[in-house]
Amino acid sequence: MKLEKLGAVNLIWFLISLFLMFWLGHQLFGAIQTQEIQNLRVTDTVSLSNTPIWFAVVYLVKFLAWLISVGVAVLYIKRRAKVT
């Protein structure tokens, strides 16, 4: 039996996107408040006052990932609403 027939793959993507939506949303909101954001691959933070261009790049990458995760969650909810 394939996982796609069970809908488990779609559910897993929905749960991952739901987690990313809240986690990245928290980081983006915190970046607006403190003007610092966690870097992409390391555990340090990027400050707007020290490196504004890299801060903007990191913010935009995380914002695009947040938009994609919101889109995946919305599409999953719309598909599930049509089925039932």
pLDDT of 16-65, one tens digit each?
A: 999 999 999 999 999 999 999 999 888 899 999 999 999 999 999 999 99
* 47 three-class SS: strand
End-to-end alpha carbon distance in the chain: 22
5 confidence band (pLDDT: 50, 70, 90): low
Has residue 75 got a pLDDT over 90? no
Q: What does the pLDDT read at residue 3?
A: 46
Q: What does the pLDDT read at residue 6?
A: 52
Rounded distance between C-alpha atoms, residue 35 and residue 44, angstroms: 14
- Between the alpha carbon of residue 57 and those of residues 8, 15, 18, the distances in Å are 34, 26, 23
Q: What six digits make up the tokens of 16?
A: 């991952």
Q: What six digits make up the tokens of 12?
A: 């897993």
